[in-house]
Amino acid sequence: MNDKEEFFDVPKPGGSRRGARRQATRGFFTHFLWMAGLGGLVLGLVLGVIKISGKGPAVKRSIITWLGGSPAGTSNGAGDAPAIQRVEVPVEKVVEKVVEVPVEKIVEKIVEVKPPLPSGYVDWKKVDVAKLWSEIPVKTEMVTEQGDTAVKERGREESFQIEMKVKLTVPKPNTSVEELGSINPHLPKMLRDFSALVGGASVSPFYHHLYQLKTERIQQKVTRIDEILSRHNLYDLETLLETKHSGSGRMLLLAQGEMDVVSDGSDGDRWPELDDYISMSQFYQPFTSYGWAKQTSTPNPLLDRWEKKLQEYEKEFAIPGLSIERNRFLRAQIEEMKPQVADLKVRSYLIAEADPFVVIPLSMLGRREENPFGPAIGDYAVVVYNDQLYPAIAGDAGPSWKFGEASLRLARQISEKASPYNRPVSDLTVTYLIFPGSADEKKGPPDLEKWYQKCSALLDEIGGLGEGYSLHRWEDLIARKKAEKEAAAASSGTSATQDAPENASPAPASPAAPPAENASEQ
């Protein structure tokens, strides 16, 4: 078969001529459709590649130019501007026109949608709950009611008033041997007669009196909500028990509470140079309730500061024309500081930085005739924390409504982070064993070894300590500081007493302390 016959599909000899023609026509159109489809596919692929490459506009302009036309937006006339000049419109100008609508105006239109005005009185009520810095939740409720005219309501006190209702839960004292033992598991093993002492104890009236004072203070300060007692200072005493040992008859006041820090006290005889960080603290006072007559002529390190402050008050008070409030303030300060200056000249006090002592609420002092368990300044005490027992004395009086304060020396022994601004123990895990009527007849400079011996004997009178427990033995920091100063002076070839006043007598010697700070009694 030749090519022509193959293309037109020439029928075999003997077939119909008309049928051969129809068959040839169908073959032609079939091949035409295949060629058209293949061309469309190739054209689609080419256009897709051009679009992806971003060259579409350039190709379009080239094709139009090749065909003899002009690209869109241009003119072939001699007077027309070139097309490129008409496209060089600065983008900034277009953007400026778009953003020229101020956003504020759009926002104002949204905010200006207001609720419809009321046609009469609208009842209003809202409850709000917040928490103060003192961790006390406060719930406020605002309620309105329809009244009379403004002229009449302005004259009625009941028209606008605040009703305050304080809800306060007063805790009950803990009298359970098991519960107190769970607060500090060492107590039942540390004190041999712990169960008998607690089991036979009665709640001290001082406990109820303390919480009565706390409640009264909250009521007094309720309109000064920033001065109201914090939750921490409200619940600072777990229990206060009065008990007596069945064998010795020794009275014991057992308290369970927290421990805050006191940094007060000064003594020129023993420590002429105080730490400025301590003495300049916000609440520092150079006095403690426990004091004695000075033994040397070395002045108190705070005397000069107090005298200068008194002189400043007296000088300002002499200025005429001061306001009544300022005059009243100055007079009160002068009347307070005059006896203080006189006291600093003739008396010495405990030093919170060096001496271990506890603070007794003022409301408990001076009540011994009324209650034989009433503590007094100078009474001996033992402070228990975890498995340690520390000898101390009742050395200062504190606020009537607060319990659980101790000297900086004692606080730092419990926690090295303790400071005038950081309490060593926030939880109610400190036990205070106070022995009413145990104070020495004559007050004098602290004798830490004597305090150790006296507290050891008092512990024996309430049953003694269990096996494995011992009373802490304090190191005399002042004696150590003096020895270090003398050693430094000896190494430099100068006398440690070179700068001491002529009439100064040596500080009373303290018995030598054992090498170990917490050595057991031999």
* pLDDT digit string, tens, across residues 37-61: 777 777 777 677 666 666 666 666 6
Q: Which residue has the tokens 């006095």?
A: 287
Q: Are residues 340 and 191 in the same domain?
A: no
Single residue among 23, 50, 66 that ends a domain in this structure: 66
297 and 364 share one domain: no
- Give the residue from 13, 36, 66 where a domain finishes: 66
Strands 237-244 and 202-203: antiparallel
Domain span at 263: 177-274+350-477
pLDDT surpassing 70 at residue 189? yes
For residue 115, being part of any structural domain is answered with no
Tell me the sheet residues that pair with 257: 237, 430
Clarify whether residues 339 and 369 are in a common domain.
Answer: no
Quick one: 446 and 374 in the same domain? Answer: yes
* In a shared domain, residues 311 and 210: no
Is 97 part of any domain?
no
**Per-residue pLDDT tens over the stretch 291-339:** 999 999 999 999 999 999 999 999 999 999 999 999 999 999 999 999 9
Q: Quick check: is 145 in a domain?
A: no
pLDDT of 17 above 60: no
Same structural domain, 21 and 62:
yes
- Quick one: 363 and 376 in the same domain? yes
Tell me which of 145-159, 246-260, 363-377, 505-519 is least confident: 505-519
Is residue 228 situated within a structural domain? yes
Number of structural domains, the chain? 3
- pLDDT-derived band at 490, boundaries 50, 70, 90: confident
- Residue 485 covered by a domain: no
Residue 305 lies in a domain: yes
Q: What is the mean pLDDT of the chain?
A: 81
Please tell me whether residues 339 and 354 are part of one structural domain. no
258 & 395 share domain:
yes
Task: pLDDT band for 498, please (50, 70, 90 cuts).
Answer: very low
Confidence label for 23 from pLDDT (cuts 50, 70 and 90): low
Q: How far apart, in whole angstroms, are the C-alpha atoms of residue 465 and residue 190? A: 5
pLDDT of residue 469: 97
Q: What is the largest CA-CA distance in the chain?
A: 160
8 Å CB contact between 408 and 352: yes
Between CA 201 and CA 203 the distance in angstroms is 7
Q: Is 343 exposed, middle or buried (0-12, 13-18, 19+ CB in 10 A)?
A: middle
Considering the domain boundaries, does residue 424 fall inside one?
Answer: yes
* 358/415 same-domain check: yes
Q: Are residues 300 and 425 in the same domain?
A: no
- In whole angstroms, give the CA distance from residue 92 to residue 372: 94
Report, as an integer, the average pLDDT of 24-30: 65
Q: Would 497 be classed as within a structural domain?
A: no
Kindly state whether residues 238 and 324 are assigned to the same domain. Answer: no
Residues 6+ apart with CB under 8 A from 486: 496
**Final residue in a domain of this structure, among 437, 456, 477:** 477
Q: Taking Cα atoms as reference points, which of 443, 370, 353 lies closest to residue 406?
A: 353
pTM of the model: 0.69
